[in-house]
Amino acid sequence: MKLSQFKFNLPESLVANNPSEHRDEARLMVLHRDSGKIEHKIFKDVLDYFDDQDVMILNNTKVFPARLYGNKEKTGATIEVFLLRELNKELRLWDVLVDPARKIRVGNKLYFGDDDLLVAEVVDNTTSRGRTIRFLFDGTDEEFRKNIEILGETPLPKYIKRKATAQDKERYQTIFAKHEGAVAAPTAGLHFSRELMKRLELKGINFAEVTLHVGLGTFRSVEVEDLTKHKMDSEQFIIEQKDADIVNQALERKKRVCAVGTTSMRAIESAVSSGRTLKAANDWTSKFIFPPYEFSIANSMITNFHTPESTLLMMVSAFGGYDYVRHAYEVALKEKYRFYSYGDAMLII
- Helix and strand numbers (H, E) in the chain are 7, 17
In eight-state DSSP terms, residue 69 is: E
Domain with CATH 3.40.1780.10 in the chain: 1-61+168-346
Among 293, 199, 299, CA closest to 255: 299
User: What is the spatial distance between Cα 244 and Cα 28, in angstroms, rounded to a whole number?
Assistant: 28
State if pTM tops 0.85: yes
Domain 1-61+168-346's class? Answer: alpha beta
User: What is the spatial distance between Cα 133 and Cα 125, in angstroms, rounded to a whole number?
Assistant: 9
CATH superfamily of 65-151: QueA-like (2.40.10.240)
- Name beta bridge partners: 283: 237
Question: What's the Rg (C-alpha) of the chain?
Answer: 21
The pLDDT profile of the chain, 349 residues, written as one tens digit per residue, is 999 999 999 999 999 999 999 999 999 999 999 999 999 999 999 999 999 999 999 999 999 888 999 998 878 889 999 998 889 989 999 999 998 888 888 999 999 988 888 999 999 988 778 899 999 998 898 999 999 999 999 988 888 888 889 899 999 999 999 998 898 999 999 999 999 999 999 999 999 999 999 987 776 789 999 999 999 988 999 999 999 999 999 999 999 999 999 999 999 999 999 999 999 999 999 999 999 999 999 999 999 999 999 999 999 999 999 999 999 999 999 999 999 999 999 999 9
Phi, psi of 91, deg, nearest 5: -85, -5
Q: What is the pLDDT of residue 77?
A: 85
Q: What is the pLDDT of residue 148?
A: 92
Domain with CATH 2.40.10.240 in the chain: 65-151
SS3 call for 136? coil
Q: What is the pLDDT of residue 163?
A: 87
User: What is the spatial distance between Cα 299 and Cα 348, in angstroms, rounded to a whole number?
Assistant: 9
In eight-state DSSP terms, residue 17 is: S
DSSP letters spanning 213-274? ---GGGGPPP--SBGGG--PPPEEEEE-HHHHHHHHHHHHTT--EEEESHHHHHHHHTSB-T
User: What is the spatial distance between Cα 325 and Cα 318, in angstroms, rounded to a whole number?
Assistant: 9
Residue 106, Cβ neighbours under 10 Å: how many?
Answer: 12
Among 214, 84, 203, 92, CA closest to 152: 84
Among 294, 307, 293, 304, CA closest to 264: 304
User: What is the spatial distance between Cα 116 and Cα 113, in angstroms, rounded to a whole number?
Assistant: 5
Residue 266, Cβ neighbours under 10 Å: how many?
Answer: 26
Burial, 142: exposed, middle or buried (Cβ in 10 Å; 0-12, 13-18, 19+)?
Answer: exposed
Residue type, 123: V
